[in-house]
Amino acid sequence: MLSRSGFIWVADRCDVGAAEITVSGLPTDYRDILEVLADAGRVAVRACRGRVGLDGEDRSTVELLRSKLKRLVARNWLSEEMPGLFVLPDDVNVTA
């Protein structure tokens, strides 16, 4: 979903009314990332890049994915175990 300013809105799971927010309500790019994490367990940014369909070795591609992963961490959809290593929390159900 795009806001008026052109930014993609990613809901915070801890917001009021978050019980109604499911993975299916997220933008496609973010759902794809969560599905990769559900399959892989934990993953580093560079390893995740090819699995979500981002081709290229350039820094901008990696940073694009890193920013999306960090946004999911900030919104409580993912956890970052170590810098650059992301994991899906147990309470996130990707199949919902």
The confidence score (pLDDT) of residue 4 equals 43
What domains sit in the chain, N to C, each tagged with a CATH number?
29-87 (1.10.10)
- What is the rounded CA–CA span in Å between residue 11 and residue 31? 12
Q: Are 86 and 48 in contact (CB under 8 A)?
A: yes
Q: Report, in angstroms and rounded to the nearest whole number, the Rg of the chain calculated over CA atoms.
A: 13
* Single-letter amino acid, residue 40: A
The confidence score (pLDDT) of residue 56 equals 67
* Single-letter amino acid, residue 39: D
- What is the rounded CA–CA span in Å between residue 43 and residue 27? 20
pLDDT, tens digit only, all 96 positions of the chain: 333 445 555 666 665 455 556 788 788 888 888 988 888 888 888 888 877 877 767 788 888 889 999 999 998 889 999 998 999 888 888 875
Strands 42-44 and 79-82: unpaired
Question: What is the value of pTM for the model shown?
Answer: 0.76
